[in-house]
Copies of this chain bind each other. A is one copy, B any other.
Amino acid sequence: MVSKAATLLEVARLAGVSTATVNRVLKQQGYISDDARQKVLAAVAATNYRPNVVARGLRTQHTYTIGLMLTAITVNPLFVGVAHAVEAAAIAAGYRVVIFNHGGSASHERHGIETFIAQRVDAVLFCTTASPENVDILVDSGIPAIEIERSLTETARSVRVDNYVGARAAVDHLVSLGHRRIAFVGGDPAIYPRDLARQRSVEDDRLAAYRDGMAAHGLKPMPDHMRLGTYYDLDAEISGTEGQQHTNALMALPEPPTAIFATCDILATGVLQSLYRMGKRVPQDVSVVGFDDTIAAYLAPELTTVAQPMTALGRHGFDMALAAIEGREVPDEIVLETSLVIRDSTGPAP
Partner of A115, one of B96, B118, B240, B269: B96
Stretch in A12-20, A45-53, A191-199, A216-224 touching the partner: A45-53
Contacts of A72 in B (CB 8 A): 84
Task: List, in ascending order, chain B residues with CB within 8 A of A142's CB.
Answer: 2-4
B87 in contact with A99 (CB, 8 Å): yes
Which chain B residue shows the least CB distance to A269? B298
* 8 Å CB interface, A226-262 against B: 239-240
Q: Does A73 contact B (CB under 8 A)?
A: yes
Docked CA distance A276–B276 (Å):
11
In whole Å, how far is A220's beta carbon from the nearest beta carbon of chain B?
Answer: 29
- Among A72, A115, A300, the one with the most B-chain Cβ atoms within 10 Å of its Cβ is A300
CA distance A91 to B154 in the complex (A): 29
Q: Bound complex: CA of A54 vs CA of B74, how far in Å? A: 30
Interface check A348, CB cutoff 8 A: no
Determine the distance from Cα of A295 to Cα of B298 in the docked complex, in whole angstroms.
9
Residues A74 and B81 in contact in the complex (CB < 8 Å), given A88-B101, A120-B52? yes
Chain B residues with Cβ below 8 Å from A117 are 5, 50
**What separation, in Å, do the CA atoms of A81 and B114 have in the docked complex?**
25
Question: Which of A57, A81, A239 neighbours the largest number of chain B CB atoms within 10 Å of its CB?
Answer: A57
- CB < 8 Å: which of B2, B101, B266 contacts A298? B266
Which residues on the B side are within 8 Å of A74 (C-beta)?
80-81, 84
* Least distance between A130 CB and chain B CB atoms (Å): 15
Contacts of A99 in B (CB 8 A): 83, 87, 97-99
Question: Nearest Cβ in chain B — how far from A61, in angstroms?
Answer: 9
Whole-angstrom CA separation of A57 from B65 in the bound complex: 15
User: A340 vs B88: C-alpha distance in the bound complex, in angstroms?
Assistant: 36
A156 within 8 A of B: no
Complex alpha-carbon distance, A57 and B63, angstroms: 12
- Given contacts A273-B302, A300-B269, is CB(A53)–CB(B84) below 8 Å? no
Pick the most buried of A54, A63, A100, A272: most chain B CB atoms within 10 A of its CB.
A54
| Contact assessment for B101 and A98 in the assembled complex, using a CB-CB cutoff below 8 Å | no
> Which residues from B are CB-within-8-Å of A101?
84, 87-88
* A141 on interface, CB distance cutoff 8 Å: yes
CB distance from A127 to the nearest CB of B (A): 13
Question: In the complex, which of the residues B97, B140, B277, B295 contacts A3, with contact meaning CB atoms closer than 8 Å?
Answer: B140
If the complex has contacts A141-B2, A276-B300, are A118 and B53 also in contact, measured as CB distance less than 8 A? Answer: yes
Known: A50-B114, A53-B119. A276 touches B301 (CB 8 A): yes
Minimum CB–CB distance from A4 to chain B (whole Å) comes to 7
- Evaluate contact between A54 and B52: CB separation under 8 angstroms: no
A104 on the B face (CB < 8 A): no
Contact residues in B for A50 (Cβ distance below 8 Å): 114, 117-118
Q: How far is the CB of A185 from chain B (nearest CB, A)?
A: 15
* From B5, B84, B295, B302, contact of A141 by CB (8 A): B5
Listed A/B pairs (8) with beta-carbon separation below 8 Å:
A2-B139, A3-B142, A4-B142, A54-B119, A58-B58, A73-B87, A80-B80, A298-B299
List the 10 closest pairs (A to B, CB-CB), nearest first: A276-B300, A269-B298, A2-B142, A273-B300, A54-B57, A272-B300, A53-B118, A74-B84, A54-B58, A50-B118
